[in-house]
Amino acid sequence: MAEKYTIGPDIDLDTEEVLLPSGHRYSNADAEADSEYFASRPGRPSLARGVSPQVSFRVPRDVKDELASLSQAEGRPEAQVARQALLEYLARHRGA
């Protein structure tokens, strides 16, 4: 599962050093470019052409906890794990 981040206080990139995993120092120019890039994105892309319908349902707490554990262990979002499980289930029962 992706790491959860807590937004902290603003920092001054001119005086504080923030290093990326590559070792590159993150600058105000980098922050501005990232800001413009993410502001231009309308949200998550559709899974298919057009609109991706959303499916929502309730599960028992132990199932949700197991999903969260598996998601974290695999480093994938819960939605991705659940989507894959549903697709595999439907594939097994197609034409049955």
Question: Residue 48 carries which side chain, given as an amino acid letter?
Answer: A
CATH topology of domain 51-93: Arc Repressor Mutant (1.10.1220)
Q: What is the pLDDT of residue 18?
A: 87
Q: Is the confidence at residue 1, as pLDDT, over 60?
A: no
Residue boundaries of the structural domains of the chain: 12-43, 51-93
Q: Which helix (H) or strand (E) segment is 34 a member of?
A: helix 28-39
Q: What is the pLDDT of residue 20?
A: 85
Closest-CA residue to 1 (of 58, 88, 47, 67): 67
Closest-CA residue to 78 (of 28, 4, 9, 12): 4
| pTM, two decimal places | 0.50
Give per-residue pLDDT as tens, 16-26.
898 888 888 88
Task: Compute, in degrees rounded to 10, the torsion defined by CA atoms 27, 29, 33, 38.
Answer: 50
Question: Residue 60 carries which side chain, given as an amino acid letter?
Answer: P
pLDDT band at 49 (very low <50, low <70, confident <90, very high): low
Alpha carbon distance 27, 22 (integer Å): 14
Q: What is the pLDDT of residue 48?
A: 66
